[in-house]
Chains A and B, each alone.
Chain A
Amino acid sequence: MSQPGIPASGGALTGLQAQNGAASASGSSYTNGPIQNALLSAQGYNSQLPGSYSHLIPAKTLNPVSGQSNYGGSQTVSPLSNYQGPGQTLHRPPVASNPVTPSLHSGPVPRMPQHASQNPAATPMPSGSFHPGANVPPPLNWQYNYPSTGSQTNHYPRVSTGPTMSGNTNLTSHQYVSSGDPSHQNNFIKSGSAPPLNPPLPTAFQPGVPLGPPPTGGPPPVRALSPQKSSQRDVPQPSFNSPINQEGITSSTNNGSMVVHNSYDEIEGGGFLATPQLTNKNPTVSRSVGYSYPSLPPGYQNTQPPSTTGMPPSSLSYPSGPQAFTQNSLGANHLTASMSGLSLHPDGLRVINLLHERNMLPSTPLQPPVPNLHEDIQRLNCNPELFRCTLTSIPQTQALLNKAKLPLGLLLHPFKDLMQLPVVTSSTIVRCRSCRTYINPFVSFLDQRRWKCNLCYQVNDVPEEFMYNPLTRVYGEPHRRPEVQNATIEFMAPSEYMLRPPQPPVYLFVFDVSHNAIETGYLNSVCQSLLDNLDLLPGNTRTKIGFITFDSTIHFYSLQEGLSQPQMLIVSDIEDIFIPMPENLLVNLNESKELVQDLLKTLPQMFAKTLETQSALGPALQSAFKLMSPTGGRMSVFQTQLPTLGVGALKPREEPNQRSSAKEIHLTPSTDFYKKLALDCSGQQVAVDLFLLSGQYSDLASLGCISRYSAGSVYYYPSYHHQHNPVQVQKLQKELHRYLTRKIGFEAVMRIRCTKGLSIHTFHGNFFVRSTDLLSLPNVNPDAGYAVQMSVEESLTDTQLVSFQSALLYTSSKGERRIRVHTLCLPVVSTLNEVFLGADVQAISGLLANMAVDRSVTASLSDARDALVNAVIDSLSAYRSSVLSNHQPGLMVPFSLRLFPLFVLALLKQKSFQTGTNARLDERIFAMCQVKNQPLVYLMLTTHPNLYRVDNLSDEGALNINDRTIPQPPILQLSMEKLSRDGAFLMDAGSTDLPELDTPESARTIAFISWLREQRPFFPILYIIRDENPMKAVFLQNMVEDRTESAFSYYEFLLHIQQQVNK
């Protein structure tokens, strides 16, 4: 299987030497240039042997019923659940021996573009065995579609999602979906590529004959699409009314209604697609206004419900022109905007030959691209730190997107700490009555009394209350209200947004007190931290707190007001766990503060002499869940070893000798206990944060599920020891401070809506997906990031702008129900070149990293690595073949993607995806957790650290913040050539700083470092590494531009890409 790899990469190297003519004979593993030993470099690729499919998952994971049907239901996100079905296990052995397999493993070198879809049966997606035929990825863009096909097929609840999703798709996809196959996204492709697999399928969708976008296999030029499209539009929309509509009506009830809300889904307002019929309820309005919006092209009418199609636009034009309102310039000005936008960024239009211009890394932090919008719109747009899209110019059709070979998705940091946040309190929150979008800066006001939704184009009335602007105190200026002037805003929610009275802040701490735990000395540190921060815990007079400790038994602490000291209650029956007393275990912090302090002071000593080595983590979690379930809240669990007793006990799975083989890497959980418990927690509004402080393998792949699905976070302090590892002690202490005092939102839900025509299909982050698109977040914290993948369901030819809106409904620690809304507006483009020009390379790399984590878990690490490399090759090939007219030699890339190969190479060398023996399994899993849960800016730092020279800092260009001068040294390339013996360098690698300091620190350096640290929610460790220090290897590991024992140097990587692209 690996045979093709060796000659090919050997070939690559030869080519490299021939071209370069400067073969370094040193053989050092860190040389920047090419080296002679072809075999050595070939190893880099071949070390990920395709044989990785042969391993079997332990038999105990075979719990298909609970794993799939109970919970997997709508968890689009969870590739993990794929793994718990028997299909996976049953499927693997055949794959390993399947003669087709080699094609699955086209390493970066012997790339076989056809492999992804050639043989669905052998596609390494585990879901393949569940739903044969349902998940054939489209042939050409397999990298971007695999997660959607894989997870959708497995998770979407058939009956309910089908119709819902179809709401905004065309007839074809509707029928397709109702035939039982939820992966609507691929409907066009499949008929061609795999008809025999799904015989009923063709009949299901052929009635809707005029297929819109042609199969991705051979997309014709984009222009050819428009005539086709209109015919597709004439197909009558299916009457997608019955089940969804009722839900829609229910959800749109407001004040004064008698409807009982039973779920957050209804409260937050139901999915975007849930209420299409409402337009028909008011045909007069929509007819007279909706479809004659002057700034939109006539073709626009066709996207509306059938009742209005065919109405001549001219006869409907609304008399009072929108010109009176600033809002309405949005669409109209777009064309000019795109013109001016292009001329504004001459640099952005450059085509770059990466082989010639190697040093593309800017010396200042890379700024996200500015969407090519009219400045009046862009001025109002959402801050990219909060909300950004991989493509700031949205391709008009899926075909165009497929052609670009770039992933389309959003990256969110919705609960980020903000300096300024407008908060609106009003009795009615103005939302679209059809899709429940919150009014935002990108809606259009048809006149003073009506506004048109920018997501579904529904025309809505402006409520009387909205006519008055509390800021200017002027009546009749709805377009100047704060809701319409701010893309990020927070609403105080009225009581319709509550299922129950706002919950109190509840904090429960669960401590491992086994012998091993006590040895590390962590308990002292954590208790001290808690004592220090007790008064800073976010909350009010209702705040509740409680403690549980465990070893082989579970210990509870009664903190009843009036007791002279805390009372310990031991439950030794861990098989059938119960709460020894229902009250006084979670107590009011204000009233029992002294007892709590008492307990925190004595707790570390109580177990000082313990000899108990067992750990009953599972039962402890169960009891903690029971204790918290009436209220919900935050559970903080500290664990120092592999759980050994009771439910959830785990066995060691790591085999250090095989780290390098990429075989037998256990990235999947070995039991579904933690996932199931997490889902129970999620249902009761409990989030579990896991602090793992273990020197030994603790199976984070299994343990991490408890946080992942309950919307918690994972913290990992490998080899924590109070004496031997002082940096970790400091790190834990600082991070605990942040953790305990940062903002927190309880009983939260988040929904992301997007303009009709786009559809969100896969979610990344820590949460549980309830009812198709509602993310359940028992807790939300300001340091969590999320990502979603999208596809273009319906072509966007009729619109020039699309919008995305995230709405996060949460209960603050003060007991207020609030809704934080972010809205992002982006232009739609019709040419491939524009798509490339607007690419956001950081967002793309971030989304690819998220997808690669899923891929590592559902398929294998080497698959994920291949997919990453192919992402670069495919997009740059597409650029070369479709955009560039004259095919020059070299590696030509658009300016926007000039750092794409570098960032992908950095991802390949990141802990999550690297090969070689360096990464311990838990560390790798932790890195993957971080990829999924970190906001983009930190993910990029951990992937591609910033390197600064700090021995010659000057005040030139320094920042001045609060009378402090903070020097801003230039960012250097991550290459040994930038280092020198007489210099001092600082590497800012996100959570871990790895500086090299040879000279005395100056005040400037300290100012700079502390400034870097202040910007982080986590505490970067500062390692001082001299030349001879063993830590040097870790430092050098991050020099991503250099060759390592198992990976290409940047230049070699570029040559490899070039070879594939120019093939």
Chain B
Amino acid sequence: MLLLTMIARVADGLPLAASIQEDEQAFRDLQKYQSQAKQLFRKLNEQSPTRCTLEADTMSFHYIIEHGVCYLVLSEANFPKKLAFAFLEDLHSEFDEQYGKKVPTVSRPYCFIEFETYIQKTKKLYTDSRARRNLGSINTELQDVQRLMVANIEEVLQRGEALSDRNCLYEEAFAALASVAQVIACRPMHQEVAG
């Protein structure tokens, strides 16, 4: 399931659009994730990796950054990553076309909230297993998603600098199509923090 979708400006974390959770129960449960997402937006900057997956309990955040705009979605951890990223790419191309030029000029939060209609529709497309078959392109284009950065959201948020300070590390990892070993290298740190 794709649960939360948010679009924000990287420069200042200003939320531009989002989808309201359709399911009331889920909305309550997702409050925590929503605020994590908001905090994440404030942390992101130009040096942040442009594609990343952040683990949060049984959920995963996936985001991409394109043209100074961050597209983020929360999914269950077992939701196919490539689908999630394909979904984000889809949002990106539509959003960029509709609002891309206006993004730097706005100051009010959720200026493009009307984009929600498109988000909801696209979400349906990517979560409905029947409709999904039509998205044949996914399989080929996005195979490299497996190699994307994986980190833990708590860690990123608690250590405010995480994404920027350790950027070099990330950049390298990213450039070299990060190996599993490096991902694991992040783990012990997380445990320290958590402990």
Contacts and interface: CB of A to CB of B under 8 A. Distances in A.
A427 B31 contact: no
Contacts of B116: 501, 504, 542
B191 to A, nearest CB: 22
A492 interface: yes
Contact of A629 (B14, B19, B24): B24
A494 B117 CA distance: 22
A502 to B, nearest CB: 5
Contact of A503 (B20, B31, B42): B20
A537 to B, nearest CB: 15
Contact of B39 (A258, A492, A542, A816): A258
A941 to B, nearest CB: 39
A110 to B, nearest CB: 57
Given A501-B116, A588-B117, A492 B23 contact: no
A542 B114 contact: yes
A425 B24 contact: no
A260 B30 CA distance: 12
A495 B110 contact: yes
Contacts of A1015: none
B119 to A, nearest CB: 10
Given A425-B108, A502-B110, A582 B22 contact: yes
A223 interface: no
Contacts of A494: 109
Interface in A487-520: 492-495, 498, 500-504
B19 A542 contact: no
Given A425-B108, A495-B14, A542-B116, A500 B24 contact: no
Contacts of B157: 258
A541 B114 contact: yes
A766 to B, nearest CB: 23
B69 to A, nearest CB: 16
Contacts of A501: 6, 15, 17-20, 110, 113, 116
Given A498-B109, A815-B110, A256 B32 contact: no
Contact of A630 (B27, B108, B113, B117): B27
B21 interface: yes
B107 interface: yes
Interface string B1-36: 000001000000011011111111001000110110
Contacts of B19: 501
A541 B116 CA distance: 9
Interface residues of A, number: 31
A588 B15 CA distance: 23
Nearest to B36: A260
Interface string B31-74: 11011001100100000000000000000000000000000000
Contacts of B24: 629-630, 684
Contacts of B17: 501
A100 B22 CA distance: 59
Interface string A259-294: 011100000000000000000000000000000000
A817 interface: yes
A815 B114 contact: yes
A543 B56 CA distance: 33
A681 to B, nearest CB: 12
B39 A630 contact: no
B38 A630 contact: no
B32 A260 contact: yes
A540 interface: yes
B110 A630 contact: no
Contacts of A644: none
A495 B117 CA distance: 20
Interface in A606-657: 629-631
Contacts of A495: 14-15, 38, 109-110
A630 B23 contact: yes
Contacts of A262: 31
A743 B74 CA distance: 34
Contact of B20 (A261, A504, A817): A504
A815 B116 CA distance: 11
Contacts, number: 67
Interface residues of B, number: 28
Nearest to B118: A541
B72 to A, nearest CB: 13
A246 B14 CA distance: 27
Nearest to B124: A583
A495 B32 CA distance: 16
Nearest to A495: B109
Given A425-B108, A500-B20, A542 B42 contact: no
Interface string A794-822: 00000000000000000000011100000
Interface string B100-123: 000000011110011011000000
B35 A260 contact: yes
Contacts of B18: 500-501
A374 B170 CA distance: 65
Interface in A511-561: 540-542
Contacts of A588: 117
Interface in A676-696: 684
A249 B91 CA distance: 38
A653 B17 CA distance: 52
Nearest to B120: A588
A386 to B, nearest CB: 25
Contacts of A631: 20, 22
A260 B114 CA distance: 25
B114 A540 contact: yes
A816 B73 CA distance: 23
A541 B121 CA distance: 13
A583 B23 CA distance: 10
Contacts of B117: 541-542, 588, 591
A815 B16 CA distance: 12
B27 A500 contact: yes
A541 B114 CA distance: 6
Nearest to B31: A262
A815 B17 CA distance: 11
A502 B113 contact: yes
Contacts of B27: 500, 630
A262 B31 CA distance: 8
A541 B20 CA distance: 14
Contacts of A582: 22-23
Interface in A406-440: 425, 427
Interface string A579-604: 00011000010010000000000000
B178 to A, nearest CB: 28
A409 to B, nearest CB: 36
Contacts of A541: 114, 117
B42 A815 contact: no
Contacts of A817: 109-110
Contacts of A540: 114
Contacts of A583: 22
Contacts of A425: 107-108
Contacts of B21: 630
A543 B27 CA distance: 20
Nearest to B5: A501
A630 B22 contact: yes
Contact of A815 (B14, B39, B113): B113
Interface string A937-964: 0000000000000000000000000000
A591 B116 CA distance: 14
Interface of A: 256, 258, 260-262, 425, 427, 492-495, 498, 500-504, 540-542, 582-583, 588, 591, 629-631, 684, 815-817
30 contacts: A256-B42, A258-B39, A260-B35, A425-B108, A492-B108, A494-B109, A495-B14, A495-B15, A495-B109, A498-B110, A501-B6, A501-B15, A501-B18, A501-B19, A501-B20, A502-B110, A504-B116, A542-B113, A542-B114, A542-B116, A542-B117, A582-B23, A588-B117, A591-B117, A630-B21, A630-B24, A630-B27, A684-B24, A816-B108, A817-B109
Given A542-B114, A816-B108, 9 more contacts: A260-B32, A498-B109, A501-B113, A503-B20, A583-B22, A630-B22, A631-B20, A815-B113, A817-B109
